[in-house]
Amino acid sequence: MGDKLVEIYVGPGCVTCKEMIEEISNTVRKLNIALKFKTINKEHEYFKKTKAPMTVFYGVFEGRLRYVGWMCCHMERIIERTLAILVNPMEAKVPDQVRASISSLNRVDVRMFTSPLCPTGCPDIAEALVNITAVCNNVYCTIIGAIEALDLMDELGISKIPTVILNNKVRCSLNAKSVNEAYENILDVISKNIEKFKQ
């Protein structure tokens, strides 16, 4: 499973790197958990479009879960949830049907664009994706703060928040009022587009 490690990539002129480092550090102290935290002075693949930090989680996530930008305000609970799962993977709860459906696919790449102004359950969708990434080792998930990624959103033609892109083939704007509803909606999207995932 590897070390319980969090890495944060900070490029030159990074706009919210200090805030994200403080967010992680404060959460570690709040939860009183033991993990390694490493800052890497290097641009990441999204940096030129965002000027934002990228945080990579190891342990049970094996580097498959990444946050781009400062996950503040509405996403604070997701930082707590992620670190709790990193320390204790049994914290990740995913319905059996969802787990079986996703695990049966080949590699699933997920990008989610979120924002503090999100009107339709961004934290619930993000929490569902974090849990899924923890229990399905074929899932690679990047959660992106839209406010810091306007250039990237323009490039991809994204106008709604939240937007979830799966395998660069399926794009959807999910709604959810709970984590369970987020699971249902994710499963529905996969079921309706199953042939695209098998290509």
What is the residue-level pLDDT of the chain in tens, covering all 199 positions? 668 899 999 999 899 999 999 999 999 999 898 889 999 999 999 999 999 999 999 999 999 999 999 988 778 899 999 999 999 999 999 999 999 999 999 999 999 999 887 877 899 999 999 999 999 999 999 999 999 999 999 999 998 889 999 999 999 988 899 999 999 999 999 999 988 887 7
Q: What is the model's pTM?
A: 0.95
Which pLDDT score is estimated for 75?
Answer: 85
Q: What is the pLDDT of residue 138?
A: 96
CA geometry: angle 188, 190, 193, nearest 5 deg: 110
Q: 162 preceded by cis ω (within 30°)?
A: yes
**C-alpha to C-alpha distance for 142 and 126, rounded to whole angstroms:** 10
Return the CATH architecture of domain 5-198: 3-Layer(aba) Sandwich (3.40)
Distance CA 176, CA 189 (A): 13
Beta-carbon contacts of 71 under 8 Å, excluding residues fewer than 6 positions away, are 20, 23, 55, 78, 79, 143, 145
CA distance 90 to 87: 9
Can you point out the beta strands (E) in the chain?
5-9, 36-40, 54-57, 65-68, 108-114, 139-145, 163-166, 170-172
Tell me the pairing of strands 163-166 and 54-57: unpaired
